[in-house]
Amino acid sequence: MKIGLIRCLQTEDICQATTDFKVMKNKKGAFEGIEEEIEIVGVVSCGGCPGKKAVSRAAEMVKRGADAIAMASCISRGTPIGFPCPNAEMIIDTIKKKAGDSVRLFEFTH
């Protein structure tokens, strides 16, 4: 599985996606039960509020080989400060619509 990771721009200063990489490597969290090898093919931020750039950034990662897109937990769960993205649902739904069924979408990482 080739994953493109999208994270929240607002939390970059306090989180370097360390846990996202760890759970992918160790197949924990949202990746529990995945048997195939996980390769991270790209890491981008949402581009900043309101997050519209996440859609084109996801599409670009798919173009470059990603067959799955993972939304870092800073977006959907608000880690590490307990402040989820107010636009998470819209961002996720739009990426799903644009990417289609051939791209697996993880709505959180851990």
Return residues touching ligand SF4 (CB under 6 A).
8-10, 46, 48-51, 75, 85, 87
27 or 94, CB closer to ligand SF4?
A: 94
CB of 42 vs ligand SF4, minimal distance in Å: 16
Residues 6+ apart with CB under 8 A from 78: 84, 85
Residue 109 · residue 72 · CB < 8 Å: yes
CB of 33 vs ligand SF4, minimal distance in Å: 27
34 or 44, CB closer to ligand SF4?
A: 44
Torsion angle of the four alpha carbons 31, 3, 72, 102, in this order, in degrees rounded to the nearest 10: -90
Residue 36 · residue 102 · CB < 8 Å: no
13 or 35, CB closer to ligand SF4?
A: 13
Closest among 39, 23, 34 to 108, alpha carbons compared: 23
9 or 62, CB closer to ligand SF4?
A: 9
How far out from the chain centre does Cα 74 lie? 9
CB of 39 vs ligand SF4, minimal distance in Å: 24
CB of 2 vs ligand SF4, minimal distance in Å: 22
